[in-house]
Each structure stands twice: as structure tokens, then as C-alpha cells.
Amino acid sequence: MGHEFLSEDWITEVKAVRDEYASQLPDVGVPALKVNVLITGAPETVAPDGVVHAHADTGGPTLALDTGSLADPDLTVTIDYNTAYDLLVEQKPNAAIGAFLSGRIRLTGDIERLASQTGFDPSSIPGLLANFGITGSSTLADVDPLAAEIGGKIRALTA
């Protein structure tokens, strides 16, 4: 039986999948960033206040993803629950484009400073997706067999 998306049990299971595949993931050059992620509109069974707090830190030897917030993030990403589901469970990276355009994904922080220091440019995300061959109907599984395998495991453990 699967777990509710973003519940503590779901997060624990997804971390186990992440750890299982850690040695098989390709090295992808990303700028050193500390990012808080706020997932809004979560059911009360997942987050009593409707917000799931998570973070990513790309400044170490590996990408660190976990729950909770970092004290001094470079960037905060706010995303609605349904869009997060599309990205994390359904593996639809193209959902990010529409979500950015409609305000379901919002970035806060000193974007100009980040761009100058790290080369991070949010406006380049659509082009980046296109370079990977991702179209309006693509999933990560369409462009990466390993992503398909990981995604299958994540979907199987999601209620």
C-alpha cells in the first residue's frame, strides 16, 4: 500500500529510493545554492498548516535534499501541492513551465545577485528542458531510463 504524497512515511520511503540510486546518478554541474522549498496547499493530514517545508543545498559534495528549512537560503521556491505532485511523482518537468507562467511556482530572493554569482537564471529553465528533449507531453522517463526506473518506484509507493 502506498503512502500519501509528502507524508512523513512517503518522505522516508523516497529517501530510501534516493539512497538506493545515489551511486548511479550522473554528476550534473549546478551552482552552489541553498534553497528553501515551500509546498503550499498540502492536505491537513500531511501538514496541519497546509505547508510542507523542505530544502536543497547544492554546496557540498552531493545534492542535499531534506525536510525543514535552512536558516539563510539563497532562494525560496514556493510551489503548490498539485504541481509538486506532477513534478515529483508523475515526473512531468514540463509542468514547471506552465506553473512558472501562472504563478504556481514563485521564486523569492536576490535573483539578480544569484545570477551574477552563480550563473543561475530562472528564465533559462524552458530552454534547459528543451535541450534535454523535453516537450509539452514528456516525462523524465522519456529522456532517461534510470529516471523511469526511479519514477516507477516513487509512483508505486505513492497512494
Q: What is the pLDDT of residues 42-57, one digit of tens each?
A: 999 999 999 999 998 8
Number of folded domains that form the chain: 1
Please report whether residue 38 resides in a domain: yes
CATH number, domain of 95, equals 3.30.1050.10
Q: Which three cell numbers stand for residue 24?
A: 548511479
Please report whether residue 46 resides in a domain: yes
Please report whether residue 1 resides in a domain: no
Please report whether residue 133 resides in a domain: yes
Please report whether residue 134 resides in a domain: yes
Rounded CA separation 137/139 (Å)? 7
DSSP 8-state symbol, 158: B
Please report whether residue 88 resides in a domain: yes
Please report whether residue 2 resides in a domain: no
pLDDT digits (tens, 9 = 90+) for 56-108: 888 776 677 899 999 999 889 999 999 999 888 988 877 777 787 788 989 89
Please report whether residue 76 resides in a domain: yes
Q: Which three cell numbers stand for residue 53?
A: 517545508
Rounded CA separation 98/49 (Å)? 26
Expressed as residue numbers, the domain containing 25 is 8-156
Task: Give yes or no for a contact between 13 and 150, defined as CB atoms under 8 angstroms apart.
Answer: no
pTM: predicted TM-score of the whole model, two decimal places: 0.80
Pairing of strands 75-80, 34-40: parallel
Task: Give yes or no for a contact between 12 and 92, defined as CB atoms under 8 angstroms apart.
Answer: no
pLDDT digits (tens, 9 = 90+) for 104-147: 989 898 777 777 766 766 666 666 555 555 555 555 556 678 88
